[in-house]
Structure 1
């Protein structure tokens, strides 16, 4: 299966630098709406069998233009949601951001017992995200766009996908509508095809100095 893991478009909480991970979550900003609108053109010519989204509103809104263009429903899979921030929910300070991302990337380095304060440990997060993608793979689709979240995509890909350079991913911002393209399944394993940390619709859709805690580099 070819899986295109796409981060959602920009939200007001990204702009405000808030760790906003609870459901249903915010919608998109004007820029986020333009980022979403650019997705169909960026994926023009790519055969897509299915579109899946998390249970958070921003992923459904991001997927909507592509779903409309391809006449495909956006299937909701709760396990694709963002890593829960626990007691750090809605925190805007840099210490909380470092703790959150440092924990998430710690899981990718093998420290699965490490826990976000009041939130999941690495075992729980990876089990949840693995199960979500197993559900996708079981459908028999060849190419799937999965709209998910900045920290979840980076932590899972760094832990599970061969060919991902953990240090590079941890130190590189993942913009809204940035993309990881991978190939494989839960049985054979996953292999990186490419990743694009910039908005899939082009650099002109990049945010100008947004706080964006779930997309910023770890330790920022």
Structure 2
């Protein structure tokens, strides 16, 4: 595990003293000194370290960052931030009078404008919206209308409730997702995650007449995980 050495490496890379970093992480300098040596931080401290340096816990623990060239280090960190949504916009959303998040509805007709407006709070505020009290309150949901017969038995025109995915590396093989891309707009497909190996997603249809295809990760704009269908 490289967490201890990576913490020290990243601190020095940023030109920070132990006192300055400890203050930023809201821990004592002595605790930070221990973390840089042999002590394993508790989970909440690991999360703060990950958020501060904008590096995933997976990389902090498994990768010896000091062994990388300057170019490879920059490439690795920037790629990790991109895949986990840290370079993306804040998700535009709507709330009710009590401050509870609402579920916006993207119809077949609205899909044409969604690609241009998904990050615009004013556009999102104009979409129809409602609440479903049985859905988890700590997750963001949106409803999309299915277009076409590629995902049978979910038919053309069906409404699907989806959960926002901010960490694209967490996309699970064989599960259904609404994928928003620069090239294809809003699509509903079965995804296979090839991000870490090839920087790609493989997208398949449930209907075998449609040919699977790959998309480069740079084309991705949003990912929503399918939760349930409504007729």
What TM-score does the superposition give when structure 2 sets the normalisation length? 0.26
> So what's the TM-score if we normalise by structure 1?
0.27
User: RCO greater where, 1 or 2, for CA within 8 Å and sep 6 or more?
Assistant: 1
Bigger radius of gyration, 1 or 2? 2
Question: Is the strand fraction higher in 1 or 2?
Answer: 2
